[in-house]
């Protein structure tokens, strides 16, 4: 699949070739021509943008885009292929993060979790929910010998 991503930032028109990773800063004409490049011929684009840009500018922008495409810097192919062992593998769960305490006793003003309750009701995870989550991890871990359980929260040691 050939993909680009267009956006404006700090007064710049930026175009990213998603598959290849090339980043381009383009002028207003090229930015607008890209709206139609894949689906329309240059003559059609000239007509569509006649009220905004001259024919020469539109054709010049179109040729610039064609050059980038030919060089593989725009609308590049997605050539990534997953290894067959990855595609056909059985899914395995290797880690679990349990939010065991939606609360905190410290109430720090700078806390990313809004003093531990994430801006909601302060609650603690029931023991049975935690046990079921751990049972799920073990049941779906395949032949893994090492598993990871992270206790998270506001302050997980409150629970």
Does residue 81 fall inside a structural domain?
Answer: no
60 and 29 housed in the same domain: yes
Given a cut of 90, whether residue 96 has pLDDT beyond it is yes
In this prediction the pTM is: 0.55
Tens digits of per-residue pLDDT, 106-141?
888 888 877 767 778 889 999 999 999 999 999 999
Given a cut of 70, whether residue 47 has pLDDT beyond it is yes
Structural domain total, the chain:
2
Does residue 44 fall inside a structural domain?
Answer: yes
Does residue 82 fall inside a structural domain?
Answer: no
57 and 102 housed in the same domain: no
Tens digits of per-residue pLDDT, 21-33?
999 999 999 999 9
Identify which of 159, 153, 157 has the alpha carbon closest to the alpha carbon of residue 98. Answer: 153
Does residue 116 fall inside a structural domain?
Answer: yes
Does residue 76 fall inside a structural domain?
Answer: no
**105: domain range?**
87-158
Given a cut of 90, whether residue 102 has pLDDT beyond it is no
Helix (H, G, I), strand (E, B) or coil at 31: helix
């Amino acid at each position: 699949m050939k993909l680009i991503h267009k956006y404006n930032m700090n007064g710049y028109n930026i175009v990213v070739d998603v598959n290849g990773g090339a980043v381009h800063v383009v002028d207003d004409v090229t930015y607008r021509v890209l709206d139609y490049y894949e689906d329309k011929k240059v003559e059609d684009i000239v007509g569509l943008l006649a009220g905004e840009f001259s024919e020469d500018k539109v054709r010049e922008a179109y040729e610039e885009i064609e050059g980038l495409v030919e060089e593989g810097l725009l609308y590049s192919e997605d050539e990534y292929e997953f290894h067959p062992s990855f595609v056909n593998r059985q899914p395995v769960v290797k880690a679990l993060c349990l939010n065991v305490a939606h609360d905190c006793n410290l109430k720090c003003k700078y806390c990313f979790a809004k003093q531990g309750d994430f801006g909601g009701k302060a609650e603690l995870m029931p023991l049975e929910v935690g046990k079921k989550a751990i049972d799920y991890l073990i049941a779906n871990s395949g032949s893994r010998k090492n598993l990871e359980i992270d206790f998270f929260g506001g302050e997980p040691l409150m629970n």
